[in-house]
Structure 1
Amino acid sequence: MPKFSANLVGKRGVIRAADFIITVLSFIVFLALDFLDALLCVLYRFIDDFLEGSSAASSCYCSRGGEESEVSETLCRRKNVFRGMLGGFTHFAGIFKNARGGGRGRGNRWSDCGCESCVSWMKNGVTDDLRLHFVVTQPPNKDKLEDVDGKGAENVIFLHGFMASSSFWTQTVFPYLSEEDSRQKYRLFAVDLLGFGKSPKPMDCLYTIRDHIEMIEKTVIVPFEMKSFHLVAHSMGCVIAVALAAKYSKSLKSITLIAPPYFPSSREDASLAALEKLAARRVWPPLLFGSAFMSWYEHLGRCVCFLFCRNHRTWERILKLITRRDVHFVVVDMTRHTHHSAWHSMHNVICGGAKVMDKYLETLRICGVKMNVIQGSKDQVVPLECSRNMKMQVGDNAEVKVIANADHTSVVVGREEEFTRDLEQFWASITTSSDVA
């Protein structure tokens, strides 16, 4: 027993020492990143003004207040010890402003990709009638979605997560539907959320939860006259799905959330608390460091997008040459956005959603909406506590399922058939219970 205790104390000492080293390294590394991001703020301001004639509306959040009501506080209140010191230099950027003046409107920036795939939404000119790109299935041998066995086909809307697209669903769930049953009963819609995939990526948009919902309504709910529908969402899409479900609680048949980033909004600064949970400024583990790098640093993140997203076709060709196979859809989707759309969606949806999720979930609880929550036991992006918190908030109407040895992506990708069967069984249980009622 004494020997065991000594070993335990020794292990705890090693863990504490390792944690101390990581804490010190994190402080040094992120201090350096603070300085570099502040320098890049000055550099990008000069370049943007020279090439684009940027207006005040196009400035970064280093020098802006939180005047917009729907803008997350994480955009303007991110800590950077050097921001105030170097901020004065941006005042002189206006000297080099392009004579054309004006804002960027809805078009691409000089640092965004201009390939056909990325600007296809602008091919007919930039208009006010923007629609999302989506993929829809129809029951076989049906010119119209007329009643099947006396009942209309049930609509299902799929929403992907951060830095993904409709391919997350069309490459996983769609091919594995039961031939005899589900393909007759369900009409599936997989959308590219605003700012991702082949959907529009306007520069004059803040990519708030409301912006995303309005585009989903405009693209699929209203045109297809949906009287009822199921929702399935992954990661960031869960926040949008919950908001959409609360708005259409009387039309919603069920909602399935995979790895939902949900934190109870007991604090006034709930958005900042969510950012600190999802992207703590730590150098280890690497995935957490990457999240922090892209979430806290507007200009460093833009550099990454300039290097990888703007040149995604080159990187895809290189990967294809190295692996001698087609690039996996998950890798392809990671670059199909602009820095503006990803940056704002991250903060205004994932972090900003922390302030309103409790209200939306309370609506779903009162309305008795059936909720299916799924998460991988090894999810390093969204803490497992998020699913447990959601169960506590919604109560008996929510069923939580933890998938052993699955992470944030492999909870779906890699177990497509099993996941699809679970979805079909959940939808069938909702239909059966409504028939009984």
Structure 2
Amino acid sequence: MPCSRSLRIMVPAVFSGKWLGKSAGKLMSVVSFVVFLILDFIDTLLCIMFGILDDYFEGQASPCYCGKRIRRELIHDGEGEMSETLYTRKNVFREMGFPGFATKRKDSINRSGGGVVVNRWSDCGCESCVSWMNNGDEKLHVIVREPSKAIIEDCRAKAGENVIFLHGFLSSSSFWTETVFPNLSETIYHNYRLFAVDLLGFGRSPKPRDCSYTLNNHVEMIEKSVISPFQLDSFHLVAHSMGCIIALALAAKYSNSVKSIILVAPPYFGSSKDGGSLIVLNKVAGRRLWPPFLFGSSVMSWYEHLGRCVCYLFCRNHRTWEKMLKLVTWKRDLHFMIRDLSRHTHHSAWHTMHNVICGAAKVVEGCLTVLVEAGVKMCVVHGDRDQVVPVECSDNIKMKAPEAELNIIKNAGHGNVIHGREKEFAASLEHTWAGVSC
């Protein structure tokens, strides 16, 4: 009897636990539906608002990707480099025909007398953000660590060692110069030229409005700013996160020149055909409320005008926010990662997110195939607690490139796979370069 009584007590408890779990799941789904429905409505209203403001400040509404007509035009025009995520993101109210200011995307943008594209009224106009326009410099901002003059001449004569460093999304060359560069040995400084690049649209690099920030745009700017002017016949590549995609495309184009490529937390979700870009978008920025970081990513990636509003409040006013943070923290200077978060425009971040991170799903597999056939040395590093880019992405690269070295760092996330272990990471770079150079 006691056993049967306890069994009767356990069975309702189990069913009760399952019922509560299902109820919580359904409640979260309902709340999520309501929240994103509200965001759909707000983004549609912001489309109208920005259309009016753009027309007032600039004489015409800035083009956006709202409306079915824009989708048909992009598909009809064969925008092969444009990610489908730009024009297939659904919005309940626009699907219902809610009026907006969606205009055809065209490069009819006001220019200054020097022919340099003027930034939007909603973008920051401080010296740091627009210095490239004032100088008429259409090359990337690159920090170069050169050996001594005598060694430089010797390196050029002997096709010496060069390394190009590419940062991730919402970052800059400081990601490398503030962490890895100080921990490299004197041998490296004496024999290597190091190039830390601010990618197109980020940091101190140009942020043109008449650019779609496709994968080819990024690769071509690196060619124009680093490879051609410095006459690089051979080089190593080191990249983090989104920079890995650009590094793979660059390496595939220069497969006979690349000596090694080190990828840290590469966002590669496997081979995909039609719809691959949407799969990537749902994995890196799915429409979910939890965790908060993913919710923030989804808002900035799914809602063009909400994202522009956030950039207007924070990026345009980054100097004010930085001053406030300095007062609150009693620090003379902020951490470079905090500064880098706002050193972009909405246009550059929005298009890079979709056309590189999502859109590259169609081309990464081909790049890997080229590199495998060329026998390029490839190393992949990933943290086992990365919540931004899952470890499965590095496993996917290992499947496509079986000879690649895969190093999973325990208890490391997306950023501290390098931060906090700079010396170990720098030593691993030197070991890889030495092995290839021998």
2:402 is the counterpart of 1:365? no
Q: AA paired with 2:207?
A: K
Tell me whether 1:163 sits opposite 2:170 in the alignment.
Answer: yes
Tell me the secondary structure at the aligned position of residue 109 of structure 1: coil
Residue type at the aligned position of 1:162: F
> Between the two proteins, what is the percent identity of the paired residues?
59
Structure 2 CA distance for partners of 1:42 and 1:150, relative to 1, 3 Å:
closer
**SS state at 2:411 partner:** coil
Asked whether the 8 Å contact 2:83–2:358 carries over to 1, the reply is yes
Structure 1 114/11 Cα, relative in aligned 2: closer, same or farther at 3 Å? same
Question: What secondary structure, in the 3-state scheme, does the structure 2 residue paired with 1:62 have?
Answer: coil
Over 3 Å counting, the alpha-carbon distance change for 1:309 and 1:420 in structure 2 is: same
2:351 matches 1:344: yes
Deviates more, 1:299-308 or 1:63-72: 63-72
| In structure 1, distance between residues paired with 2:21 and 2:235 | 49
The answer (yes or no) to whether the contact 1:265–1:358 under 8 Å persists in 2 is yes
- Judging changes above 3 Å, is the alpha-carbon distance between structure 1 residues 14 and 364 closer, same or farther for their aligned structure 2 residues? farther
Deviates more, 1:143-152 or 1:129-138: 143-152
Does the 8 Å CA contact 2:47/2:100 hold for their aligned counterparts? no
CA distance in 2, matches of 1:415, 1:12: 43
Q: Distance in 1 between matches of 2:405 and 2:27?
A: 40
Q: Which amino acid aligns with 1:81?
A: V
Q: 1:14 to 1:150 in 2, by over 3 A?
A: farther
Between stretches 257-266 and 302-311, larger displacement belongs to: 257-266
Distance in 2, matches of 1:153 and 1:346, equals: 35
Specify the alignment match of 1:98 in structure 2.
Answer: none
| Matching residue of 1:435 | none
Q: Check whether the contact 1:53–1:103 (CA below 8 A) recurs between aligned residues.
A: no
Secondary structure of the residue aligned to 1:169 is: helix
1:44 aligns with 2:50: yes
Which residue of 2 is the match for residue 259 of structure 1?
Answer: 265
Which of 71, 77, 100 lines up with 2:82 in the alignment?
A: 71
Structure 2 CA distance for aligned equivalents of residues 27 and 379 of structure 1: 27
Find 1:379's aligned residue among 381, 386, 397.
386
Q: Please report how far the alpha carbon of residue 177 of structure 1 lies from its aligned counterpart in structure 2 after TM superposition.
A: 0.6
Distance 1:354 1:112 in 2: 30
What's the CA shift string for 1:71-96, capped at 9, x where partnerless? 110000001111134543438x99xx
User: Which segments of 5 or more consecutive residues in structure 2 lack a partner in the other structure?
Assistant: 1-5, 112-116
1:35 alignment partner in structure 2 = 41
Instruction: Identify the residue that residue 392 of structure 1 maps to in structure 2.
Output: 399
* Alignment partner of 1:153 is 2:160: yes
CA contact under 8 A between 1:259 and 1:387: conserved in structure 2? yes
Tell me how far 1:48 sits from its aligned partner: 0.9
CA distance in 1, matches of 2:200, 2:122: 19
1:80 aligns with 2:91: yes
Give the one of 377, 396, 415 matched to 1:409. 415
- Indicate the residue corresponding to 2:245 in structure 1: 239
TM-score, normalization by structure 1: 0.90
Q: Is the 8 A contact 1:193 1:212 kept in 2?
A: yes
Cα deviation, residue 155, structure 1: 0.4
Cα deviation, residue 370, structure 1: 1.3
Q: 1:422 aligns with which of 410, 413, 428?
A: 428
In structure 2, relative to structure 1, the CA distance for the partners of 1:371 and 1:8 (3 Å cut) is: farther
Aligned to 2:138: 130
Return the offset for 1:322.
0.8
Aligned to 1:121: 132
